[in-house]
Amino acid sequence: MESHESLKSYKNRLDDALDNRFLRQAMDKFAVAYRASRENAFACMDVADLIQQVADIKAAAIADSKALLDRFVKKAKAHGVHVHLADTAEDANRIIGEIAQKSGSKKIVKSKSMTAEEIHLNRWLENLGLEVTETDLGEWIVQLRKEGPSHMVMPAIHLSRFQVADLFSDVTGTDQDAEIDRLVKVARKELREKFVEADMGITGANYALADTGTIGIATNEGNARLVTTLPKIHVALVGIDKLLPTLADALTVNRILPKNATGQAITSYVTWITGPSECTTTPSGKREMHIVFLDNGRKKIAADPVFSQVLQCVRCGACANVCPVYRMVGGHQMGHIYIGAIGLITTYFFHGMENAKNLVQNCTNCGACKAVCAGGIDLPHLIKEIHTRIQDEAGHPLQSLLLGKVLKSRKLFHSLLRTAHLAQKPLLDKKEKPYLRHLPMIFSSDHNFRRLPAIADVPFRDRFIKLHQPAKNPGFTIALFSGCVQDFVYPEHLEAAMKGFAQHNIHVTFPMGQSCCGLPAVSMGEKSAARDVALQNLDAIDLDKVDYIVTLCASCASHLTHGVPKLLKDYAPEKAAAFADKVIPYSVFMNDIVGIASDVSAGADVGRKTAFHSPCHLCRGLGVHNTPHELIEKSGNQYVPAVEEETCCGFGGSFSTTFPAVSNEILTRKLDDVTESGADLLVTECPGCVLQLRGGAAKQGRKFTVCHLSELLYPPMEH
Amino acid sequence: MVNTTTGRKKDDSAAVFTQKASLVSAFVHDVKDRTGAMDKTLELLAQKPPLDPQMASGKKRDPSEKILAAPNLDHDGFQQLSDQCRAFPHIHLIRDRLRNFPGGIDMGVTTADFGIADTGTLVINSNDEQTRLATMLCEVHVAILAVSDIRETALSMTKELEILVRQKGSYTAFVTGASRTADIERVLAIGVHGPLELHIILVEEK
Ligand code: SF4
Ligand code: SF4
């Protein structure tokens, strides 16, 4: 995978993964089972508080890593450990190779180490003519298959028992049944001799404790114990990000690591090693012990104000476990060496821009990873930051550049949308008005997985004047923030909402200077354009004159609340904060602020079984979970929960046009869940989700209809 | 929870320990004193199926022989065990040179320094190579733990742990259940490179 892969070839790999039935089923089962076992492991615990503790411990250690390293080295040397500092991957490889050669070692056993994977250590050692054997079952399997791990904790999760049985039949020269217990015993037997014969053992470490010069290793199989006991030499390869001050810190991290990784309260073994331990086969009676500390860019990351939090990662793998994209395409397509959300980020730092540039786009920005991250890392945000960085370094692709340029000028943007409306005319489906019959040429055929809506004849901004009814003694004055999709594609969502506002005597203003919220620009790596539109929106709305900025688009709401202050922190921090403070999503405004009554849409179509799709930016972005359910009930309909209501629908803005095949699979999974719930109607609170879900439901002929929450509450008059 | 052997009520942390250890498929047995622990050990050994050697050993062994390693028992403890073993001629009791048994040993019996209730974990000072090998090469690991050595959480006993860990040459093991993997299709399988079974004998009187 060293050669630079084109986006096209990357997409071909994604297609192959999507066609791999075993992988798909395995990943699906895993995604569901993982969620349950994680929940179970954390039952009765304050997870958020635990994560905060871990984040604080790690952040402090990163800031202090130089001093911690010095302290560790001093202690370890006093214990008799040979400590080596490797600046680069090559340095580390060379150091370890030399240790092996100087000691005359021929055979090496390893326990699983992502850090060793990071530097391609096996390849280096094998080139020196050494025999290297991975002893973690999953790692051994992928080593025999000459693959890399597809998960940080479960390296062979992409393989079936049948594939493993075939592999083991080859290795042992006898037919092996595809029975898991027996296959495990095959590994036990095959590897025992390797342990016994090995001259040298190599491990990673989960923790390096500066106070005592101790390393801590967590495993389940017990292989690391043999690797650090039978051979005469032990080499531990440790990233400098693993340094912590004390045992208590490590024990705190260890309370969350295994629970987040596999739902275990603790791994079967945690081994604490402080200097060379007894070894009866050496003249000194002690093992020769080396610790190789690896930098490989970590110091640079630590010094970066935006990215230093990357080093808070404890390598639990949870960010992959919950990722909707990982679930569809598996680990080899979702990381270079490190897998999952963190892999999208660290690939850039450890393995370079070329390996990262396709990967980093393969994210719907759903935030599921951030919600479970053991290190409290804002992963989706950093993924976008990397995307921006890569584009700044490598040049912005034309499409993204244009988008950025167009968005910066609201007038140009809006007039383009109006032109597009004219251009689409011949493409419109005559029978079913709101859909485009054929896709414009710029889209290739695989974008056809959902029906695309047409641009409205009259955008909301031109309709507002007519709809506007100034309220006398209004309860509230709001600024309505439309977002581009509702303004130009779904003005009816806003029209429905206007009815409700009028009923409740709410004074609505529609600031004409408002533009796109800027999220599409962020998601295409056009940070400076995003900043420009954020400033325009700040200027457009007079905060003194409104109580709230209400938006019917959860993505806009979340971006205006969290994204804009981040973008403007060096430009207009106070104003951005005051602005963000007034932003409120539609459901919360209607339910909690206006407090609408339960007969809200009496007379309309009621009593329908109604499922909800929770937009990522609503549930995880804004922490809103149950308010929409209450509104569904208030509308006189019956809320029926669909499983995985809070899992992404696969839209993700530009994600769905860059990776349509993956987007379609995520969408189909979602629609299946809704079908299974028995709902007649699917409601959501984001026009992007409506576009994806309604288009997909129409294309696939699903039996339910899709609408926005505002249309449920204030349905249009029957024609 | 009432202790079935001793008829007395188990103290809270022992009950939690037992419950958590059982969750990870460790077997917990309650006994009154050291004699009870030795009896239990030999009873478990008697029930144990024959060894499945992982590699050919240097010299041929009598197939009915069972190898029992007890490296870290104190002098009196080891004496007592070997006295009790005398009644069973096929037991081969050893306490060192465990490297001579790379293909495996039937049973390793060790004392544990502490138990951690909230995860059902044993803390075993494994600085000495024989202790390590006994707990790694055996098919069945029997750990003897005094009820009074059970602590609530790892964090609550940081001081005691630090005393173990900070020694030069320290090799401190947390052991929770038998060795396990879920690397093939995420199906849990017990007994990969370590013991196939873990038994914990809780001793009421130290
Ligand atoms: S934001 Fe969602 S899609 Fe992106 S990496 Fe995280 S979990 Fe995956
Ligand atoms: S980024 Fe967070 S969730 Fe992902 S592996 Fe690291 S700690 Fe775990």
Asked whether residue B159 is domain-assigned, the answer is: yes
Rounded CA-CA distance A16/A557 in Å is 36
- B193 and A188 within 8 Å at the Cβ level: the answer is yes
Do the Cβ atoms of A610 and A640 come closer than 8 Å?
yes
Q: What is the band of A493 on the pLDDT scale with cuts at 50, 70, 90?
A: very high
Rounded CA-CA distance A57/A66 in Å is 15
Rounded CA-CA distance A376/A370 in Å is 7
Judge: domain A609-713, CATH 3.40.50.1860: yes
Q: How many domains does chain B have?
A: 1
Indicate the residue of B52, B173, B183 with minimum beta-carbon distance to A269. B173
Asked whether residue B61 is domain-assigned, the answer is: no
What is the dihedral angle through the alpha carbons of B136, B139, B145, B150, rounded to the nearest 10 degrees? Answer: 70
Encoded tokens for A71:
């302290």
Q: What is the band of A442 on the pLDDT scale with cuts at 50, 70, 90?
A: very low
Do the Cβ atoms of A236 and A291 come closer than 8 Å?
yes
Backbone angles phi, psi at A388, to 5 degrees: -60, -45
Report whether pLDDT(A320) > 90: yes
For chain A, give every residue range classified as CATH 3.40.50.1860.
Answer: 609-713
Give tens-digit pLDDT for A410-431: 888 888 878 777 777 766 666 6
Asked whether residue B54 is domain-assigned, the answer is: no
Nearest ligand to the C-alpha atom of residue A377:
2
Best of B136, B193, B196 to disrupt the A interface by mutation (most A CBs within 10 Å)? Answer: B193
A271 to chain B: which residues are within 8 Å by CB? 171-174
pLDDT of residue A472: 81
The mean per-residue pLDDT over the stretch A278-284 comes to: 95
Give tens-digit pLDDT for B5-59: 555 556 789 999 999 999 999 999 999 999 999 999 999 999 999 899 888 765 5
Tell which wins on pLDDT, A560 or A600.
Answer: A560
Rounded CA-CA distance A100/A497 in Å is 72
- Count of beta carbons in the 10 Å neighbourhood of residue B60: 7
Do the Cβ atoms of B204 and A116 come closer than 8 Å?
no
Whether chain A has a CB inside 8 Å of the CB on B194: the answer is: yes
Asked whether residue B160 is domain-assigned, the answer is: yes
- Count of beta carbons in the 10 Å neighbourhood of residue B19: 13
Q: Which residue's CA is the closest to the ligand 1 atom numbered 6? A: A369
Q: Which of A566, A593, A569 is nearest to A582 (CA)?
A: A593
Half-sphere exposure of A679 (CA within 13 A, CB side): 29
pTM for this entry: 0.90
Backbone angles phi, psi at B83, to 5 degrees: -60, -45
Please give the residue range of the domain that contains residue B20: 10-48+66-203
- A160 and B185 within 8 Å at the Cβ level: the answer is yes
Q: Which residue has the tokens 């993956």?
A: A662
Rounded CA-CA distance A683/A563 in Å is 25
Report CA A493 to chain centroid distance, whole Å: 30
Which atom of ligand 1 lies closest to the CA of A319? 7
Whether chain A has a CB inside 8 Å of the CB on B163: the answer is: no
Report whether pLDDT(A443) > 60: no
Backbone angles phi, psi at A467, to 5 degrees: -80, -20
- B54 and A180 within 8 Å at the Cβ level: the answer is no
Encoded tokens for B20:
């958590």
| % of chain A beyond a pLDDT of 70 | 95
- Ligand 2: which of A58, A314, A381, A382 to mutate, most ligand atoms within 8 Å of CB? A314
Report whether pLDDT(B112) > 80: yes
Which residues, other chains included, contact A158 with Cβ-Cβ below 8 Å and sequence gap of 6+?
Answer: A23, A26, A150, A151, A330, A331, A332
What separation in Å is there between the alpha carbon of A314 and the centre of ligand 2? 6
Give tens-digit pLDDT for A352-386: 888 888 888 899 999 999 999 999 999 999 999 99
User: Measuring CA to CA, how many Å separate B23 from each of A5, A697, B27, B177, B178?
Assistant: 47, 44, 9, 9, 11
Report whether pLDDT(A633) > 80: yes
Q: What is the band of B111 on the pLDDT scale with cuts at 50, 70, 90?
A: very high
Whether chain B has a CB inside 8 Å of the CB on A226: the answer is: yes
B132 to chain A: which residues are within 8 Å by CB? 225, 229, 277
Asked whether residue B151 is domain-assigned, the answer is: yes
Burial of B200 (0-12, 13-18, 19+ CB in 10 A): buried
Question: Which helix (H) or strand (E) covers residue B198, if one does?
Answer: strand B197-203
Encoded tokens for A208:
């390096």
Q: What is the band of A641 on the pLDDT scale with cuts at 50, 70, 90?
A: very high
| CATH domain A67-297 topology | Rossmann fold (3.40.50)
Report whether pLDDT(A717) > 90: no
Q: What single-letter amino acid sits at A303?
A: A
For chain A, give every residue range classified as CATH 3.40.50.10420.
Answer: 67-297
